Amino acid sequence: MFLDSDLALSALRALTPILLAALGGAICERAGVFNIGLEGMMLMGCFTAVTTSWFTGSPWLGVLAAALAAAAYSLILAVGAVTLKGDAVVLGVAMNLLAVGLTSFLLRTVFGVQGTFDDPDLAGLGEIAGFSPLTWLSWGAVAVAAVLLSRHAWGLRLRGVGETPEAAATLGVSPAKYKYGAVLASGVLCGLAGAQLALGNVTLFSENMTAGRGWIAVVAVMLGRALPLGVLLAALLFGLAEAAGFRLQGLGLPQQATDAAPYVVTLIALFLTTAKRRRKTGAVV
Amino acid sequence: MPGRSRRTLQFAALAAGTALVLTGCNAAAKKGESGEKGSKAFTLVTPDPVGQNEFLKLAVTGVKSAAKAHGGTSKVYQSSDSASQQQNLQAAVDAAPDAVVLVGFEFADAVAQQAEAHPKQQFLMVDACTKESFENVACATFREHEGVFLAGAEAGLLSKSGKVGAVDVLDTPQFRRYSDPFAAGAKHVDAKARASTRFVGGQSPFDDSARAKEQAGSLIAKGTDHIMAAAAAGNYGVFEAAKAKGTFAYGVDVNQCPSAPGTVVDNVVKRTDVAVRDGIKHILGGDAGKNVSYGLEEGGITLTGLEKDVAGSKCVIAKHEDVLKKIAELRDEIVDGKLKVDDPAAA
């Protein structure tokens, strides 16, 4: 059978890290900070989660430490882009590069291994009703973010700061404060995404283990128009495309073709959503 | 806004600089390990830090034992990135030892240049070769497919479902050496055995253990109970998937059984030490520039189960002496040429 429950489970496992990171990206986008450092923050989360779980024996402390470490790492973007008014794209790229080098270096220094740290005694996150606890948390986070952004005063101010910072400032809202908050929140979410990947999806750390998931999250933010529900749907689409790709290999499709599945899906989705939007708004360009 | 862009640049430079410092500092610092002065000198240049990398540790063992055998000295230059690979190769050539030994495909282009520029310097490339052949470059390559075939035979003998599979890095002829012969081996001992392969692929196929785990999971969901793991760092993901469902896996290059005892059945081991030791012997014996392929016959490829220390290997196969007996027979047939293993990379 091609469409079986295994496919759905596989898709949901692929979804969680991307969804958490993409939610972080969406919050930043709403606050007017273009965050492409998701990949790097996630990788910092992976490493911190594994290190903390290994030395304390508690995967939960690992999750907590991953969230804190990635939030601290996200300060590079907050200070650089908000306080120093640097280019967020350059900062994001630098953060991604730095994270790969830094975690590889720390892997050698802390564990004395190169490439991968894996040990049968490393404690991973268990499952609650078939899913990692962070999977459940990610669904909750989508709901909270959706309500906050559309209904709560914080969310409205955050969006105001993102759309017209000058107007927000004249109303007594500090754009810098909200932008810092958004970037730190994305750090926390990416840290959780990293913890899910390194202690949930698998229980190990290997260099560059995020393997482009942060970039997929960046695309999910754009595809989902930075709306929490839109981001959820976009991330789900990627998860499904990836899981379906694995199954298609089983049916004899070459790997090079199944590799392209998520990107083909992205392009189709982009075409369809932009065409629909254009009809709705009647925009010419 | 000139002020703004200058600041951006400063920041980017700072961040990039930090990354370089962090990743690059191993390159120069870890050189050394020279012994007392002897008549012969050998230098090994590795593509990565040796650290806990079992594959490179074996290469170090090989160059040391060669030095001992020929009463000479050995040096090991450990690289950490492509820049330090070039620097270390240059430094090795500048010192003009009797042989410069390089491990890995990363060196193929650089060695070709150096071999042309220094015709009197002898090079030994292990696990790779230059595109053109040079009189002063000897290559030691491996016939991995022979060992993978034996692992497949083990899987065929041990499988309860009659379904075996492989999780491979990429769909290229070179990597198919780890999947096609596995299927052939299983079918050789069990004509009804069925085999399938999944390729990790994606943006970084060598690092993505989560993807490799999902691929292995999709094989297990179809009833596969013995999986060849040839997914680089992804192997650990394959082991996790196999362990979770009580199925079995096979490792590559070195003994990977300790990372998942009770799950990993056996490993297709590449004896880099044998290749380095013999390669140096050939060079000193006047057979410079000769390419040698190492398989079961030369002892360059073997299974952990066929080695002497199998009992202490933590491999599942240690408990199946009857299977090992049959595998040893198959090995002898391959060595004698009675049984031929197809090489997917031979075109």
Q: What is the value of ipTM here, to two decimals?
A: 0.86
The answer to whether A108 faces chain B, any CB pair under 8 Å, is yes
> Is residue B151 domain-shared with residue B261, that is, in the same domain?
yes
Helices (H), chain A: 5-30, 38-56, 59-77, 88-106, 133-151, 153-163, 165-170, 175-195, 213-223, 228-250, 255-259, 261-281
Q: What count of CB pairs under 8 Å joins A to B?
A: 146
In this structure, the answer to whether residues B118 and B243 fall within a common structural domain is no
Question: Is residue A127 pLDDT above 50, yes or no?
Answer: yes
Using the Cβ of B53 and the Cβ atoms of chain A, whether some distance falls under 8 Å is answered with: yes
Q: Say yes or no to pLDDT of B139 above 50.
A: yes
Whether residues B331 and B200 share a domain: the answer is yes
- For B53-171, list the strands marked E by DSSP: 73-78, 99-103, 123-126, 137-142, 163-168
| Spatial distance between the Cα atoms of B198 and A251, rounded to a whole number of angstroms | 10
Q: How confident is the model at residue B39 (pLDDT cuts 50, 70, 90)?
A: confident
Are B70 and B189 members of one domain?
Answer: no
Determine, yes or no, domain membership for B8.
Answer: no
How does pLDDT run across B40-69, given as a tens digit for each residue? 899 999 998 787 677 888 899 999 999 999
Task: Indicate if B332 and B203 belong to the same structural domain.
Answer: yes
All residues of chain B having their beta carbon less than 8 Å from the beta carbon of residue A93 are 12
Contact list in B for residue A87 (CB cut-off 8 A) is 4-5, 8
CATH code of residue B256: 3.40.50.2300
- Segments forming the whole domain that contains residue B94: 14-142
Asked whether residue B6 is assigned to any structural domain, the reply reads: no
Tokens at B148, concatenated: 């993978």
Cβ of residue A114 closer than 8 Å to a chain B Cβ: yes
Q: Give yes or no for residue A90 having a pLDDT over 50.
A: yes
Chain A, 209 to 248: residues with Cβ < 8 Å from chain B are: 209, 211-212, 215, 242-243, 246-247
User: Are B331 and B227 part of one and the same domain?
Assistant: yes
B210 and B222 share one domain: yes
Residue B91 has pLDDT above 90, yes or no: yes
User: What are the residue ranges spanned by the domains of chain A?
Assistant: 16-212
Element (H, E) at B217: helix B209-221
CA distance B46 to B30: 11
Please identify, among B142, B164, B192, the residue that sits at the C-terminal boundary of a domain.
Answer: B142
pLDDT band at residue B10 using 50, 70 and 90 as cut-offs:
low
Both B134 and B167 in a single domain? Answer: no
Query: Are the Cβ atoms of B11 and A98 closer than 8 angstroms?
Result: no
A14 touches chain B (CB under 8 A): yes
Instruction: Measure the CA–CA gap between A122 and A126, rounded to whole angstroms.
Output: 12
Closest CA to B227 of B200, B260, B264: B264
Same domain, B126 and B18: yes
Enumerate residues 181 to 200 of chain B having a beta carbon within 8 A of any beta carbon in chain A: 196, 198-199
Q: Quick check: B7 and A207 CB within 8 A?
A: no
Rounded distance, CA A280 to CA A268, Å?
18
CA distances from A223 to A30, A110, A229 (A): 14, 39, 11
Residues 6 or more apart whose CB falls under 8 angstroms from that of A221 comprise A22, A25, A26, A29, A231, A234
Angle at B307 between CA B320 and CA B304, to 5 degrees: 65
B200–chain A nearest CA distance, Å? 8
Nearest CA in chain B to A1: B222
Residues B24 and B155 grouped into a single domain? no
B144-160 tens-digit pLDDT: 999 999 999 999 999 99
B167 shares a domain with B95? no
Query: Is residue B21 pLDDT above 60, yes or no?
Result: no
Burial class (CB in 10 A: 0-12, 13-18, 19+), B3: exposed
Domain count of chain B? 2
Fold category of A16-212 in CATH: ABC transporter involved in vitamin B12 uptake, BtuC (1.10.3470)
pTM for the predicted model, two decimal places: 0.83
- Structure tokens of A131? 């899913």
How large is the average pLDDT for residues A233-247?
Answer: 88
CB neighbours of residue B200 within 10 Å: 34
How far is Cα A199 from Cα A123, in angstroms, rounded to an integer? 8
Which of B78, B203, B259, B264 best probes binding to A when mutated, by most A CB atoms within 10 angstroms? B203
